Amino acid sequence: MARTRVAKVSEVALGTTKQVIVDGTEVLLCNVAGKIYAIDDVCTHDGGPLEQGLLDGCEIECPRHGARFDVRTGEVIALPAVVPVASYAVTLEGDQIYVDL
């Protein structure tokens, strides 16, 4: 795994997301109740960007067709997606966010 510094915690406000690029991969950082999670920023249903979707608690909804994923695990919560999105380990050091891809 490649551990990469991707952003500052202060750049991802509570209840919001931020897209970052890690080694050419679009990753979505999600701040849920002060904890940062990282998932692929691509809906497994049709390849749409999850960054444009609504983060509601620990779930993100794809803006295209409404598929929902748990940002903590990548698990599918609602159809039409059936394949989970990849999730990545996040490490915080002070205000720095690191993702293991």
- Mean pLDDT score of the chain, rounded to an integer? 96
User: Residues 17-51: pLDDT tens digits?
Assistant: 999 999 999 999 999 999 999 999 999 999 999 99
Looking at the 3D structure of the chain, how many domains does it have? 1
Q: Which residues pair with 9 in a beta bridge?
A: none
What separation, in Å, do the N-terminal and C-terminal C-alpha atoms of the chain show?
A: 6
What pTM value is reported for the model?
0.95
CATH number of the domain enclosing 16: 2.102.10.10
- Continuous segment of H or E residues that includes residue 78: strand 76-78
Q: Would you state the pLDDT for residue 1?
A: 58
Domain residue limits at 19: 3-100
* Phi/psi of residue 23, nearest 5 degrees: 50, 45
Parallel, antiparallel, or unpaired for β 17-22 and 68-70? unpaired
